[in-house]
Amino acid sequence: MNLTRALDVALPEIPARTLAQRPPRLDPGTTFREHLEDGKMVARVYVPSIGGMFKLTTQQWHIAQLFDGQRSYQDIAGLYSQQTGVQYDAEEIREFAGDLDAAEFWYKTAQEKNILLMQQSTEERRKKLKTRSKWADLSIVVFPAYNPDKFLTWLYNYTEFIYTPWFTILTLIGFAITLGISISHWSEIGRDTIEFYNFTHKTWGDVFILYALGMFVVAAHEYGHAHACKHYGGRVPAMGFALVYLTPAFYTDTTEGAVKGSRYQRLIISLAGIWAELIICSIATPIWWGTPPDSAIHDGAYFLMMLTGFMSLIVNWNPLMKLDGYHMLCEVLGIADLKEESTAYTSSWVRKHVWRLPAEVPYVPKRRRLGYVVYALLSGAYSYTVLYIVARFAGNVSRNFNPDWSFIPEIVVALFIFRSRIRLLVNFMKFVYLDKKDRVVAWFTPGHSLAVAALLALLLLLPLKQESVQGRFVLEPGQTATIRPHVPGVLTSVFVSEGQQVPAGAPLAALRNLPLQSDLERSRARLAMASDRVKDAALHYDGLGAAVKEREFLAADTKQLSSEMQHLQLTSPISGRVITPRVQDRVGSYVQEGSEVLQVADLSNMRARIYISEFDLRRVHPGAAAKVQIEGLWEKWDAQTISTAATSTEMDPELVEAAQLKGLNAPKYYLVELLVPNSQETLRPGMTGVARVYGQRRSLLAMGAEGLMNFFGRKLW
């Protein structure tokens, strides 16, 4: 017989029974405050031994306060009945205490905790330790926390001025200055914010600096919450550091502030973290604005701006995730668990009324139901979007260092992030299958099966799918005329401005060429003299032939010089708009023969040129319909295919990213030109977007068969 096993089984029972007979008691450090929530008075109770907050009704809290570890259940029942006049028996009090004990509400000494742990079996202890292990789930790696309460008390004594009116006004002025600088430089800051957060062009040095600055910003954010909690009389027993998907994240226990603070004070505690980040941003922005570019302090301030500025404000104040904005919204609405309640109601309603599954829908007042559904849908969509962005972020980081294999960490991170959701989806599908299996099998009678087969065949054979190919483009004018002088001269005047509509033949500019004018006047004078000599020779019948030849020569020379003089007046050969910027700035400059003066473009029709691969070229035919969509606009414009290049063309790197996989033979691309009617002249040259050219309609079966044949044709020929 195993003596150790016998002792392990027998010995712990004696103290366990002794302790089980002792009445429970409150934690000596328990704090509470009564609040009005949803029209009812509740007591928020903070238990420091477990760092948790409980919500009890006022009746439940009055009963819990009677547990001092000495009174028996019978004594507590009698005492409470005497105080309130409501009769309670010992069994009801015991059941109430047992419910709170299951939630670890009651205070336990270190010895009691150890004995309770010894009561568990080896397997149960292993499961609990695995669950509580800080390395059990690498999505959230939690490091040991420390108690910053003494440090915060010391810090608060020197920084209490933060909550004074004059400091608040000073910070608001700083925020206004930061906002003004951001608006005046938004074209640069907005573009760089997107570039900053997509992480596609970062070195390992940038990653290290951003990681260090990110830890500093997040730490300041959490200290802001802790500082506000201390200001309103709450203790901060724990502050720690964690890695959420390897991203630095600090956490702070401000539960006592949520218990003791009023609704306004709880709002300030939630706002304090964002306020601290905005203070950092208001300090960094003027430094970035006033320091020379490419200096270390300039770049460091710019990184802090990116971390604490516009994007951080959107993320933290967004009420769709359980961050500061969510907690502030819950305080404003008076609903403590808005996300959980709305998600539970919506998912249960869908299970019961859409999927017809056995589900119990939680009761929600009618005035809240629509809001719950809207919030649950928006919150779920936003949460999944954020998770997708995190996966894309991993891909961007790896793509910057190894584009050939960047898809592997991106897929791994995506599976790692969505693994719980995938597991839930699989379980839900299994549940739906098991619930509907019998009815589905019963429904598939021979007649129904034949109808379903006929419907599937019809869907496969009908030409429902229209072939299409797409490509990116940069809009160009349908027709462009470049105005160039045929003779040199000084540009004396310009009669048009940028964007002005001009008809064909309209004067655009005038040149002055003094030597040409002198030659013309001299040639005209000589022509007049030659004409007089021809008349004189005709009267005297002497030297008429020579005089006539001289006059003809001078007449041709004068005509040529007059034609050149006419070219000093520049006119538009087409109707359109002047697209040359700041053309008036060239007045007074000398223009060489054949140099460009200005351009006129016909914007009533635009051209969009897209690159189509050799595999998709067969789907494009002259005259085929097309659609173009400009980036940032919802509207789509009709277009028509004009021509297809006869030879392949190198792709424009501004439109299509170069292929990263060096081992594959890149396909050849052909230029397809589209004509886009633009009668309202809404479109402008230089706009970018995506064009889709439509081919003939084909059945799904034909498209699948063709793809299969092309595959074997390419690989087996």
Residue 2's pLDDT is 41
Residue 111's pLDDT is 57
Of 50-59, 141-150, 297-306, 645-654, the one with minimum mean pLDDT is 645-654
What DSSP designation does 552 have?
Answer: H
Task: Answer yes or no: is pLDDT of 229 > 80.
Answer: yes
Three-state secondary-structure class, residue 291: coil
Taking the CA atoms of residue 539, residue 541, residue 546 and residue 551 in that order, the dihedral angle to the nearest 10 degrees is: 20
Residue 190's pLDDT is 64
Last residue of a domain, one of 442, 464, 489: 442
Mind listing the pLDDT tens digit for each residue in 574-587? Answer: 888 888 888 888 88
Residue 192's pLDDT is 62
73 and 167 share one domain: no
Residue 177: pLDDT band with limits 50, 70, 90: very high
Of 23-32, 176-185, 345-354, the one with minimum mean pLDDT is 23-32
326 and 288 share one domain: yes
Last residue of a domain, one of 99, 132, 165: 132
- Arithmetic mean of pLDDT, 449-469: 87
Task: Answer yes or no: is pLDDT of 588 > 80.
Answer: yes
176 and 229 share one domain: yes
Mean pLDDT over each residue of the chain, to the nearest integer: 79
* 585 within some domain: no
311 and 352 share one domain: no
421 and 353 share one domain: yes
Q: Name which residue leads in pLDDT, 146 or 450.
A: 450
215 and 104 share one domain: no
C-alpha to C-alpha distances, 454 to 10, 244, 278, 445, 451, nearest whole angstrom:
72, 52, 64, 14, 5
Residue 9's pLDDT is 40
CB 107 within 8 A of CB 25: yes
Residue 166: pLDDT band with limits 50, 70, 90: very high
* 483 within some domain: no
Mind listing the pLDDT tens digit for each residue in 23-49? Answer: 788 888 888 888 877 777 888 888 887
* Percentage with pLDDT > 90 across the chain: 6
Residue 483's pLDDT is 86
Residue 207's pLDDT is 67
236 and 187 share one domain: yes
- Arithmetic mean of pLDDT, 12-18: 42
Domain count for the chain: 5
Q: d(Cα 600, Cα 545) in Å, to the nearest integer?
A: 50
Three-state secondary-structure class, residue 400: helix
Q: d(Cα 265, Cα 490) in Å, to the nearest integer?
A: 74
Of 88-102, 336-350, 553-567, 650-664, the one with minimum mean pLDDT is 650-664
Last residue of a domain, one of 333, 359, 394: 333
Q: Name which residue leads in pLDDT, 177 or 32.
A: 177
Question: pTM for the full model?
Answer: 0.58
Task: Answer yes or no: is pLDDT of 137 > 70.
Answer: no
Task: Answer yes or no: is pLDDT of 242 > 80.
Answer: no
126 and 145 share one domain: no
Task: Answer yes or no: is pLDDT of 4 > 70.
Answer: no
Residue 167: pLDDT band with limits 50, 70, 90: very high
* 55 within some domain: yes
Residue 663: pLDDT band with limits 50, 70, 90: very low
Instruction: Take residue 669 and report the two structure tokens written for it.
Output: 């691309």
Task: Answer yes or no: is pLDDT of 74 > 50.
Answer: yes
Task: Answer yes or no: is pLDDT of 394 > 70.
Answer: no
The position carrying tokens 């009055």 is 62
Instruction: Take residue 168 and report the two structure tokens written for it.
Output: 């608040």
Residue 173's pLDDT is 94
Residue 528's pLDDT is 81
Residue 112's pLDDT is 59
Residue 228's pLDDT is 92
Task: Answer yes or no: is pLDDT of 661 > 50.
Answer: no
128 and 153 share one domain: no
Mind listing the pLDDT tens digit for each residue in 291-328? Answer: 887 777 887 888 788 778 776 777 788 888 888 888 88
Mind listing the pLDDT tens digit for each residue in 490-521? Answer: 888 888 888 888 898 888 888 888 887 787 78
Task: Answer yes or no: is pLDDT of 348 > 70.
Answer: yes
* 354 within some domain: yes
Task: Answer yes or no: is pLDDT of 170 > 90.
Answer: yes
* 206 within some domain: yes
Mind listing the pLDDT tens digit for each residue in 94-109? Answer: 888 888 888 788 887 6
Segments forming the whole domain that contains residue 640: 605-656+663-716
Q: d(Cα 695, Cα 616) in Å, to the nearest integer?
A: 10
307 and 195 share one domain: yes
Distance between first and last Cα of the chain = 76
118 and 231 share one domain: no
* 586 within some domain: no
Task: Answer yes or no: is pLDDT of 660 > 70.
Answer: no
- Arithmetic mean of pLDDT, 40-62: 82
C-alpha to C-alpha distances, 608 to 221, 440, 562, nearest whole angstrom:
49, 52, 42
Q: Which among 66, 323, 288, 313 is positioned nearest to 188, based on CA atoms?
A: 288
* 450 within some domain: no
Cα-trace Rg, the chain: 41
Q: Which amino acid is it at 150?
A: K
C-alpha to C-alpha distances, 535 to 150, 529, 530, 546, nearest whole angstrom:
121, 10, 9, 12
DSSP code per residue over 557-598: HHHHHHHHHHTTEEE-SSSEEE--TTGGGGTT-EE-TT---E
* 559 within some domain: yes
Mind listing the pLDDT tens digit for each residue in 683-708? Answer: 888 888 888 888 888 888 888 887 77
Three-state secondary-structure class, residue 642: strand
CATH number of the domain enclosing 648: 2.40.30.170
401 and 322 share one domain: no
